[in-house]
Structure 1
Amino acid sequence: MNRIGFIVSLALVSLALLSSMLFVVDQRQFGVIYSLAEIKEVVREPGLYFKLPPPFQDVKYLDKRLLTLDSNDSEPINTAEKQRLVIDWYLRWRITNPSEYIRALGVDEAAGASKLAQEVRNAFTEEIGKRTVRELISTKREELMSEVQREVLEKLKGRNWGIEVVDVRMTRADYVETITESVYRRMEAERKRVANELRSTGAAEGEKIRADADRQREVTVANAYRDAQKIKGEGDALAASTYAEAFGRDAQFAQFYRSLEAYKASFNKKGDVVVVDPSGSEFFKAFRGSVAPAPAPSKK
C-alpha cells in the first residue's frame, strides 16, 4: 500500500511539474518567458511550448491584435482664435516589440494605452492651437489628423516603447457646454428675427393686396352704380315718354290711372287709416265715378 501511495504521489507531482513546464500561446497573443525576472524569450507563433518550472521561469502574455483606444478626456482645448473646444478621438495601435514594451511600460496593455492617450492629447493640443474652428471642422480636418499621427509616431520612436500607431481619428469637435448654450441662443434669436421679418413683410404685402382689392372693389361698385343710374335714367325717360304718349291718347284714362296709383301709394299697408270726407274730397273722385273728361285737343 505504501508503494502504491508513493507511486500515485510521484505521478501527481510529475503531472504538476509537467503542467508548470507546458504553456500554450494563442494566435492572438505574444508569450514572454521570464527567467529570474529577466526576459528570456518572446514567443510569437501560436502553439504548445516548454519552459522551466517556477521559480526558474515564468510566462506572461501580451495582446498582439490591433487595439482601439477611445478618448475619455473632457478637458477643452484652445484653438488659434482662443475658442475652447472639447474633442473626441480614437487611436488604433498594436504592440510590435514585446521586449521593448515590457521594459518601458510593463506587461499591462492599460499602461501603454494610458501613455499613448497622454501623447495623443499633447499632439492634439499642439495642432489644434495652430488652427481655427472652421479649419478643424471642414477644410483642414484630414490634415490635422495626419499631423497628430506623425507627431505621435516621432515621439514613440524616441522612447522605444515597442508600439505601432496605425491610425488617429478625431470623431467630434464641439464647444464647451456654456459656449454651446450661448451659440444655440444666438441661433435661436437669429431664426426668430428672420421669422419676424418674414411675418412683417408678409403682413405688409397682405395689407397692400387688401388695399388694392378694396380700391378695385370701390371702383367697380362706383362704375356699376354709374352705369345703373344711367340705365335707370334712360329707362325712366323712356317710361315717361311712353306714359306721356299713352296718356295723350286718352286723358280721362290717364287721370283714372293716376288716381289708382295714388290710392296704392296711400294704402300700401293694412294698418293705414285715412280719415277724409269722400263726398267732398277730390282724392276719392275716381271712386264716385265723377272723373271729368279731359278736354279734347284743339284742331288747328
Structure 2
Amino acid sequence: MNRIGFIATSLLILLALLSSTMFVVDQRQFGVVYALGQIKKVITEPGLNFKLPPPFQNVSYIDKRLLTLDSQDTEPMLTAEKQRVVIDWYVRWRITDPGEYIRNVGLDENAGALQLNRVVRNAFQEEINRRTVRELISTRRETLMADVKREVADAVKSGKPWGIEIVDVRITRADYVESITESVYRRMQAERQRVANELRSTGAAEAERIRAEADREREVTVANAYRDAQKVKGQGDGEAARVYADAFGKDPQFAEFYRSLDAYKASMGKKGDVMVLDPSSSEFFRAMQSAGARAATPAR
C-alpha cells in the first residue's frame, strides 16, 4: 500500500514538474523567457514551447497587436498667434522588438503608453507653436500630423530604441479653450439674433404691404359691387315705375286708391302709431264705405 502511494506521489510530482516546463504562446502575444532575471529568448510564433522549471526560467507575455493610445490631458497649447487651443489625439502603435522594449521601456504595455504619451504631447506642442489656428484646423492639418508622427518615430528610435513602431498619429478635435469658446459662441449667437431680427422686420414689412394691398383691393371690389348694385336697382326701379304707370293708366281710380294705401302704410310704419282722420274727408274711408255698401246690397 505504501508502495502504491509512493508511486502515485512520484507521478504527481513528475506531472507538476513537466507542466512547469511547458507554456503556450498565443498568436496575439510574444513569449519572453527569463533565466535568472535575464532575457533568455523571445518566442514570436504561436504554439507549445518548453523551458526549464522555475526558478531557473520564467515566462511573461507582451501584446503584439496594434495598440491605441488616446490623449488623457486637456492642457491648452499655444499657436503661432499665441492663441490657447486644446486638442484631442490618438496614436496607433505596436511592439516589434520585445527584447529592446523590456530593456529600455518596461515590462508591459502600460509602461510604453505612459512614456509615449509624454513624447507625443511634446511633439504636438512643438508643431502647434509653429502654426496658426487656421493651419491647425484646415489648411495644414495633415502636414502637422505627419510631422508629429515623424518626430515621435525618431524619438523612439534614437538613443536607446524602444522596440516599437508608430503606425499613425491623428487629431480628433481641435478647439479653443473654454473661455474663448464661450466668447465665440456668444458672438455667433448675437450675429444669428441680428439676422433673425432683420428677417422678422422684413417679414413684418412685407405682411403690412400685403395687408394694405388686400384692403385696397377689398375697397375697390366693394365699391364696384355697390355701383353695379345701384345700377341694377335703378334699372329695376325704372322698370317698376313703368309697369306701375302702365297699370295705373288703365284704372286711374284704382291707382289713386293704391297710392292712398301706400301713404297710410308709410305713415303708420311702426307698432303703436296712431292717426286721427275724418272719415267724411278721407278718400280711403269713402272707398271703404262704398265697398261695404255694395257688399250689403242683396243680389237680385
Normalised TM-score (structure 1): 0.78
Are the equivalent residues in 2 in contact too, given 1:76–1:176 (CA < 8 A)? Answer: yes
Are the equivalent residues in 2 in contact too, given 1:24–1:46 (CA < 8 A)? Answer: yes
Structure 1 position 275 matched with structure 2 position 276 = yes
1:152-163 mapped onto 2 (5 Å cutoff): 152-159=152-159, 160-163=161-164
Shift of the 286–196 alpha-carbon distance from structure 1 to 2, 3 Å rule, reads farther
Q: Could you give the per-residue CA deviations for residues 72-118 of structure 1, whole angstroms, max 9, x where no partner exists?
A: 22223334444443332222111112222122112121111111111
CA distance in 1, matches of 2:41, 2:194: 72
Counting aligned pairs with the same residue, the percent is 72
Shift of the 78–286 alpha-carbon distance from structure 1 to 2, 3 Å rule, reads farther
Structure 1 position 171 matched with structure 2 position 198 = no
Match of 1:71 in 2: 71
Match of 1:110 in 2: 110
Normalised TM-score (structure 2): 0.78
Q: Could you give the per-residue CA deviations for residues 257-294 of structure 1, whole angstroms, max 9, x where no partner exists?
A: 2212112212334432212332245675554559xxxx
CA distance in 2, matches of 1:246, 1:24: 131
1:59, CA displacement in angstroms?
Answer: 3.4
CA distance in 2, matches of 1:274, 1:81: 106
Task: Please tell me the residue identity of whatever aligns with 2:76.
Answer: P
Q: Could you give the per-residue CA deviations for residues 172-221 of structure 1, whole angstroms, max 9, x where no partner exists?
A: 33444444444444444444433333333222212211111111111121
Q: Could you give the per-residue CA deviations for residues 112-133 of structure 1, whole angstroms, max 9, x where no partner exists?
A: 1111111112222233334444
1:135, CA displacement in angstroms?
Answer: 4.1
Shift of the 247–14 alpha-carbon distance from structure 1 to 2, 3 Å rule, reads closer
Are the equivalent residues in 1 in contact too, given 2:257–2:284 (CA < 8 A)? Answer: no
Number of residues of Structure 1 aligned to a counterpart in Structure 2:
290
CA distance in 1, matches of 2:59, 2:155: 30
Give SS of 1:73's match.
coil
CA distance in 2, matches of 1:3, 1:240: 152
Match of 1:25 in 2: 25
Match of 1:149 in 2: 149
Task: Please tell me the residue identity of whatever aligns with 1:260.
Answer: L
CA distance in 1, matches of 2:152, 2:73: 17
Are the equivalent residues in 1 in contact too, given 2:87–2:173 (CA < 8 A)? Answer: yes
1:165, CA displacement in angstroms?
Answer: 0.8
Give SS of 2:279's match.
coil
Structure 1: 5+ residue runs without aligned partners?
Answer: 291-300
Are the equivalent residues in 2 in contact too, given 1:61–1:107 (CA < 8 A)? Answer: no
1:44-193 mapped onto 2 (5 Å cutoff): 44-159=44-159, 160-193=161-194
Structure 2: 5+ residue runs without aligned partners?
Answer: 292-300
CA distance in 2, matches of 1:236, 1:31: 120
Q: Provide the alpha-carbon RMSD of the alignment.
A: 3.5
Shift of the 243–20 alpha-carbon distance from structure 1 to 2, 3 Å rule, reads closer
Give SS of 2:158's match.
helix
Shift of the 37–276 alpha-carbon distance from structure 1 to 2, 3 Å rule, reads same
Are the equivalent residues in 2 in contact too, given 1:149–1:167 (CA < 8 A)? Answer: yes
CA distance in 2, matches of 1:17, 1:250: 151
Task: Please tell me the residue identity of whatever aligns with 1:156.
Answer: V
